[in-house]
Amino acid sequence: MNLSGAGDPAPHPSGAFVPGPRAEREPTGPGRLAGVRLAVKDLIDVGGTITGGGNPDWASSHGEAAADAPCVAALRAAGARVVGKTVTDELAFSLEGENAFFGTPVHPLDPGRLPGGSSSGSAVAVAWGEADLALGTDTGGSVRVPASFCGLHALRPTHGRIALSGVLPFAPSLDTVGWFARDAALLRDAGQVLLGGSSAPTPVRAPLRLCIAQDTLALASPEVREALLDWARRAGLREERLAFGEGEGDAAVAQEQGTAPWRDWLTAYATLQGLEIRTHLGPWIRARRPRFGPAIAPRFAGALALDESIGARWRAWRTDAARALRERLGQDEAWLVPAAPTVALHRGADAATRNAFYDHALALGALAGLAGLPQLVLPLRHTQGLPIGLSFISAPGHDERLLDLAVALSTA
């Protein structure tokens, strides 16, 4: 059934929304989000519409959602109005923001750049002003990267804080529902709703102590690294931490020889994500033999070819590494890390550039992903006319404190 009542509007040059009739829904109650326009990634259920997952064969083999996902229902109950479903990279398997079937949403500042994915449409809808708030999903960086590329406020929450029912599963032990906004106050208001807060005024919480995750900066391009360090110097950050853990010997030599600690985080993340994809999407892929775009097909083929026997080693590694990271992080700190290793990539970036970006972005994203941490992104720096996401990770459950930090830094 078509409940939108909006017909099929002419496509906007942003390309943020799924082609066809808009899935528009009125709010179901009053609240702190009254008047807020909400866009929803097409991996998240909106009742009465098909969750297409960015792939036409997935869409044609699945029926309409019977109800809104709980995250959508909560925002509508707080007064938000759904203005449409947004384009996603196919079944979430990308960080670039391209879709071979529905097009690439247009970067808000430079149409020659990629918006970042897989929550590309959600980020672009907010950045272009077509929505005030947008839901995305984040497994390895799919909210954090487009927020950085497009200059938005965003949060990847602590794993498990927001229910994943009504969300297309990708790698469930890593999947989260995140959100974008153009200003920190709305980001926090939405968080108050999504994280189960009351309607009372925001309580006063002790501020987090800000530190620099020094080893993560080695994965950033020179211009991103310098912009983040410049902000840190101006903000008076002095304390340094090691996010990836202690390495052996000289860090530069380790990087050159491929023995830097971040490579284990990358391998663990890629392996465990691939095995979960094999479990949750593999049966449908084998039965349906769907069409995938040329960049996406080899990724799914690689995941389905993984040997399950390697999983035990990397699950044990994850348990130990995540525990050690949480112990290093402590209860009252937030660590500055790059939200993405580069500014927005050129649409015509070659394979070597994309591969290097992917490795560094996934390694950075794996910190919060494998350890279940919340991560905040703020658009407080630019270089060459393009945004750089200033990002902080903190201990599990400190989502609200990170949202307070967003407001404090954005108004400082």
**What sign results for the dihedral spanned by CA atoms 391, 395, 399, 404?**
negative
Task: Show contacts of 62-70: CB within 8 Å, 24+ apart.
Answer: 64/1, 65/166, 67/166, 68/25, 68/166, 69/44, 69/45, 69/163, 69/165, 69/166, 69/167, 69/177, 70/162, 70/163, 70/165, 70/166
Is residue 326 within 8 Å of 396, Cβ to Cβ?
A: yes
**Max CA separation in the chain (angstroms):** 64
β-strand 176-181 against 240-241: which pairing, if any?
unpaired
Residues labelled as active-site residues: 41, 118, 142
Helix (H), strand (E) at residue 294: none
| Closest-CA residue to 227 (of 377, 343, 334) | 343
- Listed in order, strand segments (DSSP E) in 268-360 are 333-338
b/e per residue 285-308 (b: at least 16 CB within 10 A): beeeebebbebbeebbeebeebee
Is residue 221 within 8 Å of 248, Cβ to Cβ?
A: no
3-state secondary structure of 167: strand
Q: Please tell me the distance from the alpha carbon of residue 320 to that of residue 102, in angstroms, as a whole number.
A: 41
b/e per residue 192-224 (b: at least 16 CB within 10 A): bbbbebeeeebeeeeebebbbbbbbbbbbbeeb
